[in-house]
Structure 1
């Protein structure tokens, strides 16, 4: 809800050239400040970074608990074990000739929007979301469609006189839904077809990721949950625990992922808040291990 309100209020930014350009810019800034980036080196134990003054864990609480092991205080471990995951997503990425053929009353508006929400009425959205929470695949799952070339024309190409555009889409499905890539493609594109008949005929190439592939690509997305955990009321207040959401209870180690407040729908705020918390250091008069 917060993410949708932000989108309607001010729009969502689109990085020219794709999201990789954001990562590239951040790495350049880090290197300019004397930092280094190490990849392809999984951290499975805190001892691997024992020399660091501050450790920021951009992971799920489950992964953080494994990294910290016996160092994690019992009261924090108990709280993290109560942390609940949310529904999953099934993702499709397409190359589409001529764009999405939206039809019906909102066609003009949908054809100008970088992100389109397909859900029907509020009541229909509520039914579909309840089905996901109950572990059942909705007949008409809530689906998002991205048309990034509308804001960034550099992402499109003209080949043999045909305009080819990138389109991404994902549908909300139950956590761990065991669909195949083909079933994922059919599920997601069926929802688009309802609002844009003929869409599939325009798809020239596609890849599809069921929840298992989403989780494999990024282990933080357990069971295909891309929001860092459920955003129901208790976890809006205590995410992943009350009062000290970024503290792990281990001195100098902080959690900074979307599993912390204010959640995955408010991009980058989790990391910024965690960084500010880390820079303040231990609470005066109390050790970090007992917070």
Structure 2
């Protein structure tokens, strides 16, 4: 109505209506004055809420899109730019002084805070834009540095079973296109190298039973990592199985060692669980 120059009529009509309500309250008997005023105020609030809901619905449904809003032009663009500068500076600072796990925790916290901000007082459409900013400045730009960070990167996490940190890395990296392949590549390389050292170590080959048990322990360790940290990712599981197949085949006596291991366990009372784990090494 204001847009079509009916603003004065709207204002005058509302003023007259409110004055009429005020006069009706004033005319109320003294003993019922507060009760009547409270009732009129309640009716006014209900009417205001109803009008607001109707106007918002009409705004969304019937008013054509007029292009970029004032929100986008005057606030969102500047907000995203300033946020990018802030996270760029923070990530440069943190990547130098923080262990990989701590850096990932901070990145996760920042993403969660931005989504809370969107949910509480920003337009929902800003959500994807601001998370893309955080993702690029804090994760995408530092993926390889984080993976290979000395004493705290991916290999260190794998060696020390850092399930929470590994899970956080997996969940953050999966937001970036083709980033999980980098985790998979390093995990596979590390697994193959450590497995190769195991199956070619002359000292370990002296005890076939201990040798096979060590392989079983190693397989169980990585299965647990994939289940707990990597969301039971089938690509990771297939890569792990392929790695074990690779270094197991480096030992031509492996089948003989398996037979000796099973024979030893049968004497001790081999259970189904242990036998299943042994069979898994052949898959």
Q: Give the TM bin, normalised by the shorter chain.
A: under 0.3
Which structure dedicates a bigger proportion of its chain to helix? 2
TM-score if structure 1 supplies the norm length? 0.24
Bigger Rg over Cα: 2
Which structure dedicates a bigger proportion of its chain to strand? 1
TM-score if structure 2 supplies the norm length? 0.24
